[in-house]
Amino acid sequence: MPGLVVAVTGPTGEIGLPFIRALEARAEVAEIRGMARSPFDPAAHGWAKTTYVQGDILDRAAVDALVAGADVVVHLAFIIFGDPEASRRVNLEGSRNVFDATVAAGATRLIYTSSVAAYGFHEDTPLPLTEDVPAAGSDDLYYSAHKAELEQTLHGIVDSTGVETYVFRPCIVCGPESPALLMNVPYVGTSSLVPEPLRSLIGRLPGTGPVLADPGVPLQLVHADDVASALVTGVLGEGPPGTYNLAADGEFTMTDLAHALGWRSVPIPSMAIDLTAELVKRLPAMPAKTAWIHAARIPVTMDTARAREQLGWTPGYDVQTALTVTVDGARRRGLVDDLGRRRT
């Protein structure tokens, strides 16, 4: 029986790189095709099964060429931070191109990476979140709104086609090659972008060195390698199609992150968080990253029993280990110095 042909959008991102490495190691996979907008050389990573073309998911012809003859299509391409309107085009119109092209090509399976953000950040949401909770999104965070809308679009396109569809909702993705948590964390990464008087609430305290404000909200992490292993189960059809939450064992707070970085932390009252979030929401032309301040005040912890029981997925990293290797990796890459200070 010939091996699988797998087409992947966004193979060069923080999830894409470990995912392609995992696919390369599987004997069931014969060919991997990747497409993204930036130049990339698979040979530089020692990949023997992977070919790559530079292209845009907004270009339907390019997507059709990528997925033609593929057994499985994996859609990873997505914009998290960027201009809201440009992001909407890529995230919604581009993704629709991928879903439509997958059905037209007659692929057996479609794998899509959604996000915990698809649930939205709502104070009345039951915790922990299970996959049965509707993906309502949050209008105040366009990434969340896009993820929720796109899940509806996906099901509208594929549910009557027979294409086996796997939707994965990871929490914050981290790892040695995945520093987004450190580069974009609310109250630190965004502080230099926020005008006074908000900076005193969400930035570093003057004259004290790096200080991370802790709103006390529990957060989840998942290592990129563990996300990759879940995606591979979908590619191989090793569990029933469906929607799956992905998170490591345990939770962390901003104080835990501060300690891992060698920083100090200070508690911030919920009232100050609410005020900051409301002001950020109302200010015109605020950078996209600051929208996460509005989301960080509400816990969105997920239950992952379905992935563990139905896919046999077991994360290799708990939260504290994932946090440690993420910070260590950022230091090795020169993203933070020995004192823990973030480099710009």
Q: Is residue 197 part of a domain?
A: no
Residue 162: give the domain boundaries.
Answer: 4-171+223-247+301-315
Domain count, the chain: 1
Q: Is residue 269 part of a domain?
A: no
Q: Is residue 186 part of a domain?
A: no
CA distance 219 to 40: 33
**CA distance to 48, 72, 178, per residue, from 91 (Å):** 30, 20, 21
Torsion (CA) 12, 13, 16, 22 in degrees, nearest 10: 80
**Amino acid at the residue 98:** V
Task: Count other C-beta atoms under 10 Å from residue 145's C-beta.
Answer: 21
- Digit-by-digit pLDDT tens for the chain (344 residues) are 479 999 999 999 999 999 999 999 999 999 999 999 999 999 999 999 999 999 999 999 999 999 999 999 999 999 877 777 888 898 999 999 999 999 999 999 999 999 999 999 888 889 999 999 999 998 878 888 999 999 999 999 999 999 999 999 999 999 999 988 887 765 444 344 334 444 454 444 454 456 777 888 899 999 999 999 999 999 999 999 999 999 999 999 989 998 998 887 878 766 455 544 554 454 444 445 555 555 567 889 999 999 999 999 999 999 999 999 999 999 898 887 655 555 55
> What ranges make up the beta strands (E) of the chain?
4-9, 29-36, 50-54, 72-75, 109-113, 164-170, 172-174, 211-214, 221-223, 242-246, 264-267
> What is the pTM assigned to this prediction?
0.88
Output the DSSP codes for 2-56.
PPEEEEEESTTSTTHHHHHHHHHT-TTEEEEEEEESS---GGGGT-SSEEEEE--
SS3 339: coil
Angle, to 10 degrees, between the axis of helix 319-332 and the axis of helix 254-261?
Answer: 40
How many angstroms separate the most distant Cα atoms in the chain? 66
**CA distance to 52, 185, 337, per residue, from 270 (Å):** 47, 17, 31
Q: Is residue 333 part of a domain?
A: no
Structure-token match 């991928």, residue found: 98
Q: Is residue 310 part of a domain?
A: yes
CB 74 within 8 A of CB 164: no
Asked if residue 2 has a cis previous peptide bond (ω within 30° of 0), the answer is no
Q: Any idea what the CATH number is for the domain that residue 52 is in?
A: 3.40.50.720
Enter the DSSP assignment of 272. Answer: H
Residue 57 tokens, joined: 């998911």
Which phi and psi (to 5°) does residue 286 adopt? -75, 145
CA contacts within 13 A on the Cβ side of 328: 7
Q: Check the CA dihedral 89-21-344-323 and report its sign.
A: positive
pLDDT, position 188: 46
Q: Is residue 145 part of a domain?
A: yes
Question: Are β-strands 4-9 and 172-174 bridged in parallel, bridged antiparallel, or unpaired?
Answer: unpaired
CA distance 247 to 330: 21
Q: Is residue 202 part of a domain?
A: no
Instruction: Let me know the angle formed at the C-alpha of 301 by 280 and 111, rounded to the nearest 5 degrees.
Output: 95
Q: Is residue 56 part of a domain?
A: yes
Q: Residue 109 forms beta bridges with which residues?
A: 72, 164
Residue 249 tokens, joined: 């064992």
CA distance 97 to 108: 17
Distance of CA 239 to the CA centre of its chain: 22
